[in-house]
Structure 1
């Protein structure tokens, strides 16, 4: 006879990781579409073509930064699930909503690449990353509190991982505040993520 606990854990963590890998693969691939190609006219000259290529640098920067951010999210998600050994419906729901914002990154990247000189465009990008960061943090905290992690995980290591998961949402808030003054340049705040991790370890 099936009990309530087995029904509540009907999806294994490996299935969650497979879904995460698939969504990240698609999202990271779609990012390149945010760059586009120069508009070619019949009277295009070599100098004009080079200028159009140069004009793509804001989009290239947004693409590279977003790709780096997604790669970081993907890496730390696998670090989390190295310790998360069990799942339940709530954990699955958290991850589904997290992936909702991950899949939105190509859209917000194209917005910031095309309209990076506008505050609203930056707000869309920063909020996208903020909610992705918050749900990533919630995922770990929930797993720890519900005992879904490896029993051998010591408390100090769990707290260290919790602190590191909070870095990204905080950086998103800082970037959002700086966006009012520096617009798309505020995105460079995210490059401080690895340095901050080393400082708190």
Structure 2
């Protein structure tokens, strides 16, 4: 079975999820007389929501990009790979909800744990997708073992950072999700 249909579905889910993320910011609700200073204060209170929006958007964009890299090598799909991808997309589509939750209730560790569990499941399923495709011979026959192993290791970065963020959620919950900004640094270290 061709990969084209699943790639189209992935593009659609990512486009919708990334667009819905902006709705997690919301407009401040101000009643009564509003001065310019009051309005500016209310806008300033959106900073944490804008921050988590930007982080979630960035993470989704990374996943979209690396998914395309993965499917550059994956040449065929079977029923199981479609199932793995569908479940993966379920958690990708859930990210606007968990982002909204942490944007509105980031001061509670439960909302941080839910967000980071969402990220963990996205990362684990993404990693499983590559592992399954390489084990079942669904990838390009000319793909070397070194690239396969490198991508397997790279795919574990998000799950490991998610576990770190879950642990941090119990101690510094308002900053735990920022563990994900370590991703490019870890990738750079891994390449060397």
TM-score in terms of structure 2 length = 0.98
Q: 1:21 aligns with which of 11, 25, 28?
A: 11
Q: 1:139 aligns with which of 112, 129, 134?
A: 129
What do residues 36-88 of structure 1 show as CA deviations (whole Å, max 9, x unaligned)? 01113231111111100000111001100000000011011001000000000
Q: Distance in 1 between matches of 2:28 and 2:129?
A: 41
Q: Distance in 1 between matches of 2:54 and 2:174?
A: 13
SS in 1 for 2:143: coil
Counterparts of 1:144-163 in structure 2, within 5 Å, are: 144-163=134-153
Q: Distance in 1 between matches of 2:30 and 2:158?
A: 39
Q: 1:79 aligns with which of 53, 69, 90?
A: 69
> Which portions of structure 1, spanning 4 or more consecutive aligned residues, are displaced by more than 2 angstroms?
none
Give the gaps of 5 or more residues in structure 1: 1-8
What is the CA-CA distance between 1:198 and the residue it aligns to? 1.2
TM-score in terms of structure 1 length = 0.94
Matched length: 191
Which residue in the other structure is 2:45 paired with?
55
Which residue in the other structure is 1:112 paired with?
102
SS in 2 for 1:104: helix
Give the gaps of 5 or more residues in structure 2: none
* Structure whose CA Rg is larger: 1
SS in 1 for 2:107: coil
